[in-house]
Structure 1
């Protein structure tokens, strides 16, 4: 990873006037803006279904070409612990009827595939989402972990904004940024609208490009494309009551804010302060190709991460129904 730029301001200073939703859904809330996804929003998502076509959005785990992960994390490792070899050597268990089987385990970061962040995954100033003490992350998260999100599930109307195709590219460039105004312009060009309480899905082409380029080039001077911080963008997300942001990047935003050099300010402004759930490393290219073909960019979005108690995140395989 490239040397981190030296920030000109602290996160607390940058976001000192940023809106907060702490307490909006009670002092014990751990799912934040997902509270916006009430039964009416589920039905609005169902109403977007036109053809019954389905798409899954998780990247492969243990792909032969590797798995895209945040620099410093290791890719998933899969190990066979039982297979035909054990039975051929008479080392496998014996069952009535001579049944044989295979078994394996995976060692991976919970955020090493398509995944949901827990609302308490990132913080500043010693407080997580909803004002919980950052000390509650010690050992295992006891507040704002991923389990409440997984227990609840995520269902609503999704809208895809294909920024890469809007800019005439297969994949956005390293460090290429866009704003909420760019999202609105892309939506208009697609012939769709971003509506209040939509699950917002943004394609940059970044994750899809991982499988078409050398790893060294993908990770060199690591700087993802993505949304860039501004007070106006944060206010727009808040006013639109966006419950969930989904992207095909590892961090859902440009890695370092190009103005202040701060790392991942939207994780703090959107997730920590507003309770907006972040979903990262989604596979969006097949869905985007189909949307471009039939011009339908809205659909039913459903997802439920693994129910990992105390987890700072968990893998997920979202299902989209058009």
Structure 2
């Protein structure tokens, strides 16, 4: 895809975005109270499934700076003597890494000097982001989740690194699974990344990974999707646009105001959806309350 074609697509997808104001929730405004109630009413079995992968604490090809976890208490003597003691620990992570499940806030992507809605990129400083932060979703994201399984559609266990999901793939997956993505939905696209990683081992995903083709974002715009999630990071590598390394991030976050959920895990969800013969569910996402942050680790929960 040429840079000129990408920029034209960016312009078209950006046009509906409202101008001005610093506290917009972007496409999350599509999740109305009525849609939340409808999603909750669709719960049948009450079964819950985590959509997050276990946090990685060991370095690997896709995680050169893994999360760190260490115990700060008890000491060697504490806990073995008479009296009260507490076990304590400390945790730190690179939120926007390439392995741990996380949410991208609307301040995460700067393009041509601006954030979503034309907010100046200068509002993000070394001290933190001044607007469009994770704090916009401090009350959580609750709505109807829809899982589209592209490897299942193609009859393969996973998409090979570098493969790209098109709008036609998404529409065909809908038909094959007997579901349809609608306004305010949290669209979750499985490319099989987690299954491939567990089967063949980790690899350098900065060079090769499966994801969406930029033109697939037209599908999201037409269906008025509120959130996009994937078991990859939604962007394929190498990029379909040589001049823009993460075109889907630019289009989703910066142009459309769509929050991204990166590096999720759908391998426990797929068999449950197959068993219940439905691919939609109540989805609950609860980011940490980090007022100046550009993202947050998350453990989204599907309730079926």
Q: Is structure 2 residue 223 aligned with structure 1 residue 240?
A: yes
Of residues 25, 32, 39, the one that matches 1:38 is 32
Of residues 251, 273, 279, the one that matches 1:297 is 279
Q: Is structure 2 residue 294 aligned with structure 1 residue 316?
A: no
Q: Is structure 2 residue 165 aligned with structure 1 residue 183?
A: no
In the TM superposition, residue 156 of structure 1 has moved relative to its aligned partner by 0.8
Q: Report the counterpart of residue 121 of structure 1 in structure 2.
A: 108
Secondary structure at the aligned position of 2:112 is classed as: coil
Note the alpha carbon deviations across 1:194-251, whole angstroms, 9 max, x for none. 2232210111110233233333xx2177211111012xx33332221100001101x2
Aligned-residue CA RMSD (Å): 2.6
Work out the CA distance in 1 between the residues paired with 2:197 and 2:59: 8
Secondary structure at the aligned position of 1:19 is classed as: helix
Whether contact under 8 Å (2:74, 2:88) holds in the other structure is yes
Q: Report the counterpart of residue 263 of structure 2 in structure 1.
A: 281
Gaps of 5+ in 2: none
Describe the shift of the 1:283–1:43 C-alpha distance in structure 2 as closer, same or farther (beyond 3 A).
same
Aligned length: 301
Whether contact under 8 Å (1:256, 1:262) holds in the other structure is no
Q: Is structure 2 residue 17 aligned with structure 1 residue 29?
A: no
Work out the CA distance in 1 between the residues paired with 2:220 and 2:201: 35
Gaps of 5+ in 1: 1-6, 91-96
Q: Report the counterpart of residue 106 of structure 1 in structure 2.
A: 91
Q: Is structure 2 residue 132 aligned with structure 1 residue 144?
A: yes
Q: TM-score by structure 1 length?
A: 0.85
Work out the CA distance in 2 between the residues paired with 1:262 and 1:164: 26
Whether contact under 8 Å (2:205, 2:237) holds in the other structure is no
Q: TM-score by structure 2 length?
A: 0.90
Work out the CA distance in 2 between the residues paired with 1:256 and 1:143: 31
Whether contact under 8 Å (2:182, 2:224) holds in the other structure is no
